[in-house]
Structures are given as structure tokens and as C-alpha cells.
């Protein structure tokens, strides 16, 4: 049952927050519903969840009109510049801005639509070749450039940690992202107020919370394993 899963995940979030001396109200659970049908999302809503994450633009824009308008949607997957026009104005937060050029495209579209867009900068902390995201040493410069875009607001940083058997191995990754956030905060870039840290998935969200996550993106623990063989 999704409702039981949700209760379990919330309990674990609370326990992890407690261990770290944090307030669980400062941690937002984003239910990652990618590949899962609308009726499963509805079940999750009935259990009290309102923030959902999707990683593909097309799937997201198909699901949004089928569900209550008051939900909060998060784009968590790689965004191509040619898809920006479909997403601006539709989501609460884009977690996966990985180039200045992408932020610039978001700015153009936001200006056109006269709206504001909240983003996170995705950081490839582990420097994995297969992954997108800024390298740690490039984030500050990117921040300064994106700060010039009047309709785009950087709210914080996001990372996708490697898949590891023992989630403890990712603690150092989360700690590095937190350090980077604190470091950039201390440099006080004009127009940038970064406070959010989107980090932690089913395998490692409790550790991410201990290291300062303000948003965790949890899919499998809520909705069960995804079947990519059927749904591409
Ligand atoms: C799929 C996905 C998640 C959720 O992964 P689970 O392991 O199922 O919790 C989180 N973040 C991103 C960016 C994803 O693509």
C-alpha cells in the first residue's frame, strides 16, 4: 500500500531529522512518480502527499492536467533547451539546471510568459562521466552569471549521488554539496539566496537528511520498483 509506504518514509525522515538535531518541517518529501500511473499518484495524494517529482518533460505535462491543480510539481531530470517552453510556468522548481545556457533559455521563456522560475543548480559532486551537472569548482561562476537573469531564481543545489550498495559511502558526497552551499552563501552573490539542498533518494535519503538535505526525492520506497522494460 502506498499509504503505508508514505507513513514509513515520513517516520524515517523524522528519525533522521531527530538524529541530526533538525526540525522535520524543514525537510520536504518529493514523491518521485516517474513511470507510475496517475491512479497511483492519486492514492498518494489521498494519503496526504502534495509534492511530486518527474524526470521527463513529456510525462510531466501529460500528468499535470489529469491531477488536482494545487499539487506542487518538481522537474528533477535532465532538461533539454528545446523542451524549456513546455515546462516554464508549470512547475514549482526545476532541480536539474546543469548549464548557464539552459538557465539563459529558461530566462528567455520566463520573460516571454512574464513569470518567475525557481531553479536549483545540479552538481556532479562525484565527477561521474556519465552524469550531467556542474563540477563543484564551476558552480560559483555559474551562480554569478545566472544571477543576472531577472526571472530566474537560484534557490539552492541538487545532486544525484552514485548508486552504491552501502549508502554510507554517499555521506561524503552530501557533505561536499552542503559545504559548497555554505561556501557560496558566504560569498553573498547579489540576487542569490540559496538555502535548498535537494539530495537523497530511496537508497540514501536518511543519510542525506543527516547531512543537511532540505528536499529528498523518493520514488521506489513509495511506489515500488519501476519497470522500464514496458514503459520507455
Ligand atoms: C528517479 C529519480 C529519483 C528517485 O529514485 P528512487 O531511487 O526510486 O527513490 C530521484 N532523483 C532523480 C533525479 C531521479 O531521476
Atom of ligand 1 nearest to the CA of 77: 13
pLDDT for position 136: 97
Mind listing the pLDDT tens digit for each residue in 120-149? 999 999 998 889 999 999 999 999 999 999
Mind listing the pLDDT tens digit for each residue in 75-126? 999 999 999 999 999 999 999 999 999 999 999 999 999 999 999 999 999 9
Tell me if 76 CB under 6 Å of ligand 1.
yes
Residues 196 and 231: their CA atoms lie apart, in Å, by 32
**How remote is the CA of residue 160 from the centroid of ligand 1, in Å?**
8
Stretch 162-178: mean pLDDT, rounded?
97
**Strand 93-97 to 28-32 pairing:** unpaired
| Ligand 1 pocket: which of 53, 78, 222 to mutate (most atoms within 8 A of CB) | 53
Q: Which neighbouring-strand residues pair with 121?
A: 97, 157
**How remote is the CA of residue 77 from the centroid of ligand 1, in Å?**
9
Tell me if 103 CB under 6 Å of ligand 1.
no
Mind listing the pLDDT tens digit for each residue in 7-38? 999 999 999 999 999 999 999 999 999 999 99
**How remote is the CA of residue 66 from the centroid of ligand 1, in Å?**
22
DSSP string for the chain: -HHHHHHHHHHHHHHHHHHTT--GGG-EEEEE-TT--HHHHHHHHHTT--EEEES-HHHHHHHGGGS-TT-EEEE-S---GGGHHHHTTT-SEEEEE--HHHHHHHHHHHHHHT--EEEEEEB-TT--TT--SB-GGGHHHHHHHHTT-TTEEEEEEE--PPP-SSGGGGHHHHHHHHHHHHHHHHH--TT----EEE---TTTHHHHHHTT-SEEEE-HHHH----TTT--
Residues 53 and 71: their CA atoms lie apart, in Å, by 11
**How remote is the CA of residue 74 from the centroid of ligand 1, in Å?**
12
Mind listing the pLDDT tens digit for each residue in 54-77? 999 999 999 999 999 999 999 999
| Ligand 1 pocket: which of 52, 55, 231 to mutate (most atoms within 8 A of CB) | 55
pLDDT for position 228: 75
Among 73, 81, 39, residue whose Cα is nearest residue 54: 73
Tell me if 133 CB under 6 Å of ligand 1.
no
Whether pTM exceeds 0.75 = yes
Plot region of 137 (φ>0 → left; ψ -120 to 50 → alpha; else → beta): alpha
| Range of weakest confidence among 46-60, 67-81, 191-205, 218-232 | 218-232
Q: Is the pLDDT of residue 230 over 70?
A: no
Is the sign of the CA dihedral 16, 140, 73, 172 positive or negative?
negative
**How remote is the CA of residue 208 from the centroid of ligand 1, in Å?**
13
Chain Cα centroid distance, residue 65? 21
Among 52, 25, 26, residue whose Cα is nearest residue 38: 52
Contact assessment for residue 131 and residue 85, using Cβ atoms and an 8 Å cutoff:
no
The residue whose grid cell reads 539552492 is 156
**Strand 93-97 to 117-122 pairing:** parallel
Tell me if 160 CB under 6 Å of ligand 1.
yes
| Closest CA to ligand 1's atom 7 | 202
Amino acid at each position: 500500500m502506498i499509504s503505508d509506504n508514505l507513513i514509513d518514509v515520513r517516520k524515517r525522515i523524522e528519525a533522521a531529522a531527530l538524529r541530526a538535531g533538525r526540525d522535520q518541517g524543514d525537510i520536504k518529501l518529493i514523491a518521485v512518480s516517474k513511470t507510475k500511473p496517475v491512479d497511483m499518484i492519486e492514492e498518494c495524494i489521498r494519503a496526504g502527499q502534495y509534492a511530486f517529482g518527474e524526470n521527463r518533460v513529456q510525462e510531466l505535462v501529460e500528468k499535470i492536467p489529469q491531477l488536482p491543480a494545487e499539487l506542487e510539481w518538481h522537474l528533477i531530470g535532465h532538461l533539454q533547451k528545446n523542451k524549456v517552453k513546455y515546462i516554464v510556468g508549470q512547475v514549482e522548481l526545476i532541480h536539474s539546471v546543469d548549464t548557464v545556457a539552459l538557465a539563459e533559455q529558461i530566462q528567455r521563456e520566463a520573460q516571454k510568459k512574464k513569470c518567475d522560475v525557481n531553479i536549483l543548480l545540479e552538481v556532479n559532486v562525484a565527477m561521474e562521466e556519465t552524469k550531467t551537472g556542474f563540477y563543484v569548482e564551476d558552480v560559483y561562476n555559474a551562480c554569478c552569471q545566472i544571477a543576472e537573469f531577472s526571472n530566474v531564481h537560484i534557490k539552492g543545489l541538487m545532486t544525484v549521488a552514485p548508486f552504491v550498495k552501502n549508502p554510507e559511502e554517499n555521506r561524503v558526497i552530501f557533505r561536499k554539496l552542503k559545504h559548497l552551499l555554505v561556501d557560496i552563501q558566504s560569498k553573498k552573490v547579489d540576487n542569490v539566496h540559496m538555502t535548498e539542498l535537494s539530495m537523497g533518494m530511496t537508497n540514501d535519503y536518511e543519510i542525506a537528511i543527516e547531512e543537511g538535505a532540505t528536499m529528498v526525492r523518493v520514488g521506489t520506497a513509495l511506489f515500488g520498483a519501476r519497470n522500464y522494460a514496458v514503459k520507455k
